[in-house]
Structure 1
Amino acid sequence: MATKFQVLIIGGGTAGIMTAAQLLRQKKTNSVAIIEPADTHYYQPAWTLVGAGTFDYKKTAKPMSKVIPKGAEWIKDKATGFDPENNLVHTASSGDISYDYLVVAPGLTYDYSLIPGLGEAMDKGVVCSNYTDPEHTWKVLKNFKGGTALFTQPATPIKCGGAPQKIMYLAESYFRKSGVRSKTNIVFATPGTIIFGVKEIAKTLMNIIDRKDINLRFFHKLVEVDAKNQIAWYELVKQPEAGGCILRSEETDTVKIDKNFVYNYKDVKVSVKNGRYGIHYDMMHTAPPSVAPAFVRESSLVNEAGWVDVDKHSLQHRKYPNIFSLGDVAGLPTAKTGAAIRKQVPIVVDNIDLLMQQDRIGSLSYNGYSSCPLVTDYGKMVLAEFDYDQNFKPDPKLKQLLIKDSSKEHWRLWILKKYGLPYLYWNKMLKGKEV
């Protein structure tokens, strides 16, 4: 006979802990369990600052036992599969767990097979990632002696889509301090078409790109990393227009790139081979290619893209009405951030409560709100808050911090990022308190 809970939550990250905490704090139920194998819970938004040498990595971690809400049962195990028709979750060693309502929030995982060579190169030598080892990023920045500093990202969805840029802006400032900026070209190669999807934020960031003299390269899909020769290989995901500028290659091949591909061109060393375009780097920072965990991907819960198939407003599963999903694993057309989770949790909690009480979901609707705190310098930040339609939606509470326009750089936003948000996270969000 399977152990049964009224609400079963998969995942002890931000989404899972917040959901459990709010359910219990608001006395919606006293039967909550969280399946989570990890011993440690991390506040990952601070890893950008760790990678730039301005935050203590140890302060981003707490024992999982300290953040599991009082009243929730911690099943320290891995979920391995679903039987939604029978309201069961399979686990690695605890048998089947039964539920009335299921919240799927295990976050995402990294699939290095999508970019051959990256897994072997990651967090070694001059290849780094704040997503996986921010302390190594800081070592790479300190050891960098000049050349091509390449900042890039995969074509998959990633946590906080702005993070690959944040470390670039901080690195540029650090290179000035360390005296290597004058012999450094900074390149940002992205599969995207613009620097940021919200026009007010994009305008500010392009001014910062100009100020920091950074070379942007769009339509660049990272497909392979050659760590031995320090080359990042790309496929250009748009056909160049005739007559565009030519990026020279040391080989006999050349590739034409029109002006839509490149902004503030720098003559860095490149190679062309088999239709691919290689940028030679002296250091590289990237985000790893991200996917839903295998036990989710291989289940009947996912959409065609491999993320949990939920209604984007109610967060209720499209096929199984007693299943909800939120956070990074949910198939939502918005940025995967902790700020998004902050707005998603109350909707999931309200809907589960109403299903339990009245067999219906509520009228609360998630509008796709997400937020990306874009650190642009030591002591400066821009706060991008937006919805599904990429409308700029600044929080009215920012006025209390004397911030009139959060689309512009402000030192108060830096203080919020470095001190305010970590405090709110540990002491409010994870406790189920309203933020």
Structure 2
Amino acid sequence: MKSHYQILIIGGGTAGIMVASQLLRQKNAKDVAIIEPSDTHYYQPAWTLVAAGTYDYDKTARPMVSIIPKAATWIKDKATGFDPENNLVHTENKGNISYDFLVVAPGLTYDFSLVPGLGDAIDKGVVCSTYTDSKHAWDVIKNFKGGTALFTQPTTPIKCGGAPQKIMYLAESYFRKTGVRKDIDVVFATSGTVIFGIKRIADTLMKVVDRKDINLRFYHKLVAVDGKKQIAWYELGNDIAPGSSVVRSGDDDKQLDESFQYNYKDVEVTIEGNRYGIHYDMLHTAPPSVAPKFVKESSLVNEAGWVDVNSQTMQHTKYLNIFSLGDVSSLPTAKTGAAVRKQAPIVVDNIDLLIKQNKIGTKAYNGYSSCPLVTDYGKMVLAEFDYKNNFTPDPKLKQMLVFDSSKEHWRLWMLKKYGLPYLYWNKMMKGKNV
């Protein structure tokens, strides 16, 4: 195996494969290698549908060897560190590998120490996550017969911030369809202050919440999980209004502070000091997510632990032959595959121009990301937005006869279930523009 490559990419996920495929199509990149230890590449956006019993898990997986471009070299190893001054990446088994240009896109990893108790409880019994085991999540949902169904998320950035509520909407539909909904309280506890950051989307989702009779609990920061007692512990991210309370109690005539509660349900809550423990009979959450250790402990990251890049060019702020995109980058937008779809062409253009002319181009990433918010079996809202949280729907949606993607539509559901997986495997992974 060679120890030097013109372009070295860390990560065989959506970002790494897209950049490699597009670079090789540009013809100027002659020597591209991808460091990736996994044998399998997953289409993770479908895991929500797997957890709702409407998508085959096996169809979300393909052998990594079939996804990595044939003209690229697959270095089946783990990156363990960087020496950017000498253009080196350290690996676990194959020693140091040098490069002319480096693309850092290894994706996220999970740090369960950030929510004590969650690591021991997740993917066991009634605690589930579409992120870590979507088949177990489906088992939990289809076998749930009554009690408090708690949906929540950590305060760290996560892949697709809307995913924890998508599965809630689908689970509620399933509970209704199977006749057990009357025996269930559905609760969504989030550290946020609104259901979604774009008003047009939030307005639609609040109508969904009303239709589905869901209790929203805002300013709830998940800090621990007690798997044995089935309690999720929260600290509050805001002061309680004087004379008010967050939950009702039998001998308390205080009014509810409605900044914390919407559509209140009287589920069991234990208060200990400044912590509120919501008792659950099933729990769905996203795992707390961070950059991998070898990235977080490197000289490439900012104070928050993300690879420090220019928000428009994705070029590293210090090392000009290094680029980063996707979940591990410092780009201040949602961590989604849709964002990578718009980021990759700019990274590719910049590297291509550096090879040819020793300068980057003028293309600028505007922060585009999207979140397909499934609201029911057969219904979806598509939130597309930029750095300024402007609602920016794709004009191509009109070709699908979708004229307002901020509203629920069955055609958007078809896009999610059939259209996007097709585009992913047959266009994005092959370096074609979509």
- Supply the distance in 2 between the matched residues of 1:223 and 1:248 (Cα, whole angstroms): 22
Pair 246,405 (structure 1): closer, same or farther in 2 beyond 3 Å: closer
1:339-368 per-residue CA deviation (whole Å, 9 max, x = no partner) reads 000000000000001111111111000000
The residue that corresponds to 2:295 in the other structure is 296
Q: Which runs of structure 2 are paired with 1:268-283 in the superposition (5 Å)?
A: 268-283=267-282
Pair 69,345 (structure 1): closer, same or farther in 2 beyond 3 Å: same
- Supply the distance in 2 between the matched residues of 1:433 and 1:268 (Cα, whole angstroms): 50
Is residue 284 of structure 1 aligned with residue 269 of structure 2?
Answer: no
- Supply the distance in 2 between the matched residues of 1:245 and 1:364 (Cα, whole angstroms): 51
Structure 1 length-normalised TM: 0.98
> What's the CA shift for 1:284?
0.5
> What's the CA shift for 1:96?
0.4
Identity %: 75
- Supply the distance in 2 between the matched residues of 1:194 and 1:97 (Cα, whole angstroms): 46
Query: What's the Cα RMSD here?
Result: 1.5
Amino acid in structure 1 at the alignment position of 2:15: A
SS at match of 2:18: helix
- Supply the distance in 1 between the matched residues of 2:223 and 2:237 (Cα, whole angstroms): 11
Q: What runs of 5+ residues in structure 2 fail to find an aligned partner?
A: none
Residues 190 and 221 in structure 2, CA contact (< 8 A), matched pair in contact too: yes
The residue that corresponds to 2:41 in the other structure is 41
Residues 8 and 101 in structure 1, CA contact (< 8 A), matched pair in contact too: yes
> What's the CA shift for 1:254?
11
Residues 248 and 256 in structure 2, CA contact (< 8 A), matched pair in contact too: no
The runs of 4+ residues in structure 1 deviating greater than 6 Å are 252-256
SS at match of 1:54: coil
SS at match of 1:324: strand
Pair 21,246 (structure 1): closer, same or farther in 2 beyond 3 Å: closer
Residues 244 and 254 in structure 2, CA contact (< 8 A), matched pair in contact too: no
The residue that corresponds to 2:9 in the other structure is 9
Residues 253 and 273 in structure 1, CA contact (< 8 A), matched pair in contact too: no
- Supply the distance in 2 between the matched residues of 1:378 and 1:185 (Cα, whole angstroms): 20
Pair 249,271 (structure 1): closer, same or farther in 2 beyond 3 Å: farther
SS at match of 2:381: strand
- Supply the distance in 2 between the matched residues of 1:108 and 1:268 (Cα, whole angstroms): 34
The residue that corresponds to 1:180 in the other structure is 180
The residue that corresponds to 1:54 in the other structure is 54
Q: Which runs of structure 2 are paired with 1:61-80 in the superposition (5 Å)?
A: 61-80=61-80
Pair 123,296 (structure 1): closer, same or farther in 2 beyond 3 Å: same
> What's the CA shift for 1:230?
0.4
SS at match of 2:416: helix
Residues 12 and 106 in structure 1, CA contact (< 8 A), matched pair in contact too: yes
Residues 249 and 271 in structure 1, CA contact (< 8 A), matched pair in contact too: no
The residue that corresponds to 2:88 in the other structure is 88
> What's the CA shift for 1:249?
5.6
Matched residue count: 434
Q: Which runs of structure 2 are paired with 1:304-323 in the superposition (5 Å)?
A: 304-323=303-322
- Supply the distance in 2 between the matched residues of 1:256 and 1:39 (Cα, whole angstroms): 56
1:122-146 per-residue CA deviation (whole Å, 9 max, x = no partner) reads 0000000000000001000111011
> What's the CA shift for 1:255?
9.8
Q: Which runs of structure 2 are paired with 1:109-128 in the superposition (5 Å)?
A: 109-128=109-128
The residue that corresponds to 1:197 in the other structure is 197
Pair 253,19 (structure 1): closer, same or farther in 2 beyond 3 Å: farther
Q: Which runs of structure 2 are paired with 1:152-163 in the superposition (5 Å)?
A: 152-163=152-163
Q: Which runs of structure 2 are paired with 1:23-422 in the superposition (5 Å)?
A: 23-248=23-248, 258-422=257-421
- Supply the distance in 2 between the matched residues of 1:363 and 1:219 (Cα, whole angstroms): 41
Residues 246 and 255 in structure 1, CA contact (< 8 A), matched pair in contact too: no
> What's the CA shift for 1:248?
3.6
Pair 255,119 (structure 1): closer, same or farther in 2 beyond 3 Å: farther
The residue that corresponds to 2:423 in the other structure is 424
> What's the CA shift for 1:332?
1.1
Q: What runs of 5+ residues in structure 1 fail to find an aligned partner?
A: none
1:43-73 per-residue CA deviation (whole Å, 9 max, x = no partner) reads 0000000000000000000000000001000
Residues 379 and 408 in structure 2, CA contact (< 8 A), matched pair in contact too: yes
1:94-120 per-residue CA deviation (whole Å, 9 max, x = no partner) reads 110000000000000000000000000
Residues 243 and 254 in structure 2, CA contact (< 8 A), matched pair in contact too: no
